[in-house]
């Protein structure tokens, strides 16, 4: 088994190779990357949770280090300007340590302004970062020619990145197992969330996104964000979409559980079977929009087979009926960001591959290739706003509204795995992690 130090060294060599090509294509001499700065609440001295520039954490497993910089000139050892303030109000960053240290020329600074003493000239530099990361004479320019190439190549994960993604899966799965147990015990959404955090070993600020933990009807709100502290009188269902982070890399997993109701359990089983079949098709050369459309066909089959909608699956797709029950996209790229970059990009130079007509929320339109990691997350939901339109439309007579009234008390079903596209069979990172935990 390859050790972390070897994996990281190979990862860094690949990033330098990619940077060399991107700089040459853009006509730049060097690359400067700002980690970013803390942002403070309006009229207050309290900062928001810090979010690292993903370009910075692509090079270094440092995701809680504001006011740092990377400077890379082709052919030279990259420089890390490491902000370590002398601070008795807050705990400053620890001394640099880890498998990455030997690969950087590290310069310690005590104040953000000192960074300019250690950075090369801004002229001729591609400077990546948010506008507020600017220093005197060092202003992010985010050149499109460089960003397009770096974003395109970020879709193809190195062995180091895949290792970190697998570790994030293992962490998230520990949380998911604890959350299911808390649901079975009848706990509130807030208590389920805390059980998840404790088992995953994460704080809220360390999560790659806010956990979605919806009991009963709350599972019908796609990005439900409340986490009610009052346990319902009856816990009928739990939809939990929750992730974890390791060295800046994200896991994004969704599971749905019921309390034994036969009709809802049948729906969970049917969506799970569809999800497994779709995940098996994450293979080189697969057009992702076509897979999304096939997900609609498969879910239409579920609606028909369970007697929810008595229409032919192809008719449901053509008339938009499936979008009432499955209104979001099948999935998205995953990596340093939960919804990772370049999902619509046509090539390394840029351009855009548009979504299929009638599917405005799909987040990935590229053809899958080895090295990509994507989510596969079909779902069926009972959303009052969308059902009202169906009930008022020409296809209302095909719907079993009594069954809808029963199932809407459970919110909906979503099953999501993170899947690595390889040169052969796909690697289902999420299912593998659940199997290992069991």
pLDDT beyond 70 at 368: yes
For 116, half-sphere exposure in the C-beta direction (CA atoms, 13 angstrom radius) is 9
pTM: 0.97
DSSP state, residue 207: S
Spatial separation of the C-alpha atoms in residues 166 and 172, rounded to whole Å? 10
* H or E element at residue 245: strand 237-246
Sequence-separated (6 or more) residues with CB below 8 Å from residue 21: 149
* H or E element at residue 177: helix 159-184
Q: What is the pLDDT of residues 294-306, one digit of tens each?
A: 999 999 999 999 9
CATH, range 159-437? 3.90.230.10
Q: Which residue spans of the chain are classified as CATH 3.40.350.10? A: 4-154
Q: What is the pLDDT of residues 91-117, one digit of tens each?
A: 899 999 999 999 999 999 999 999 999
Helix-then-strand count for the chain, H and E: 12, 15
The answer to whether 208 touches 195, Cβ cutoff 8 Å, is: no
pLDDT beyond 80 at 194: yes
For the residues 114-123, what does the mean pLDDT come to? 96
Q: Which residue spans of the chain are classified as CATH 3.90.230.10? A: 159-437
The answer to whether 161 touches 246, Cβ cutoff 8 Å, is: no
Q: What is the pLDDT of residues 306-326, one digit of tens each?
A: 999 999 999 999 999 999 999
Q: At which residue do the structure tokens 């299911």 appear?
A: 180
The answer to whether 106 touches 123, Cβ cutoff 8 Å, is: no
Spatial separation of the C-alpha atoms in residues 112 and 429, rounded to whole Å? 39
Could you count the other beta carbons within 10 Å of the beta carbon of residue 9? 16
For the residues 195-204, what does the mean pLDDT come to? 97
Fold assignment, 4-154: Creatine Amidinohydrolase; Chain A, domain 1 (3.40.350)
C-alpha closest to that of 48 among 232, 205, 184, 185: 205
What pLDDT was estimated at residue 1?
54
Q: What is the pLDDT of residues 27-61, one digit of tens each?
A: 999 999 999 999 999 999 999 999 999 999 999 99
């Amino acid at each position: 088994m390859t050790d972390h130090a070897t994996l990281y060294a190979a990862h860094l060599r690949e990033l330098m190779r990619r940077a060399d090509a991107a700089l040459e294509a853009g006509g730049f001499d060097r690359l400067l990357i700002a980690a970013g700065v803390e942002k403070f609440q309006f009229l207050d001295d309290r900062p928001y949770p810090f979010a690292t520039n993903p370009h910075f954490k692509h090079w270094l497993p440092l995701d809680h280090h504001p006011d740092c910089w990377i400077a890379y000139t082709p052919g030279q050892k990259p420089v890390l300007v490491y902000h370590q303030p002398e601070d008795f109000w807050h705990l400053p960053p620890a001394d640099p340590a880890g498998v990455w240290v030997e690969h950087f020329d590290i310069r310690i600074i005590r104040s953000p302004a000192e960074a300019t003493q250690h950075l090369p000239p801004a002229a001729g530099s591609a400077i990546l970062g948010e506008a507020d990361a600017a220093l005197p004479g060092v202003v992010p320019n985010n050149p499109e020619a460089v960003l397009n190439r770096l974003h395109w190549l970020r879709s193809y994960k190195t062995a180091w990145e895949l290792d970190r993604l697998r570790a994030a899966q293992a962490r998230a799965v520990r949380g998911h197992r604890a959350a299911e147990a808390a649901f079975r015990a009848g706990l509130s959404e807030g208590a389920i969330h805390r059980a998840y955090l404790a088992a995953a070993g994460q704080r809220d600020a360390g999560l790659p996104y806010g956990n979605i933990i919806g009991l009963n009807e709350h599972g019908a709100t796609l990005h439900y964000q409340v986490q009610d502290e009052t346990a319902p009188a009856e816990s009928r269902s739990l939809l939990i979409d929750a992730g974890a982070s390791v060295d800046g890399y994200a896991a994004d997993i969704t599971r749905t559980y019921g309390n034994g109701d036969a009709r809802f359990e049948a729906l969970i089983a049917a969506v799970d079977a569809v999800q497994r079949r779709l995940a098996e098709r994450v293979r080189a050369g697969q057009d992702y929009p076509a897979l999304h459309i096939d997900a609609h066909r498969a879910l239409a089959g579920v609606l028909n087979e369970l007697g929810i909608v008595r229409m032919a699956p192809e008719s449901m797709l053509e008339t938009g009926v499936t979008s009432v029950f499955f209104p979001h996209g099948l999935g998205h790229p995953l990596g340093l960001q939960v919804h990772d970059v370049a999902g619509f990009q046509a090539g390394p130079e840029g351009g855009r591959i548009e979504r299929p007509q009638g599917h405005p929320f799909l987040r990935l339109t590229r053809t899958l290739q080895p090295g990509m990691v994507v989510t596969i997350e079909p779902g069926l939901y009972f959303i009052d706003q969308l059902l009202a339109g169906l009930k008022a439309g020409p296809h209302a007579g095909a719907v079993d509204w009594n069954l809808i009234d029963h199932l809407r008390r459970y919110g909906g079903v979503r099953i999501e795995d993170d899947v690595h596209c390889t040169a052969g069979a796909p690697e289902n990172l999420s299912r593998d992690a659940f199997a290992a935990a069991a």
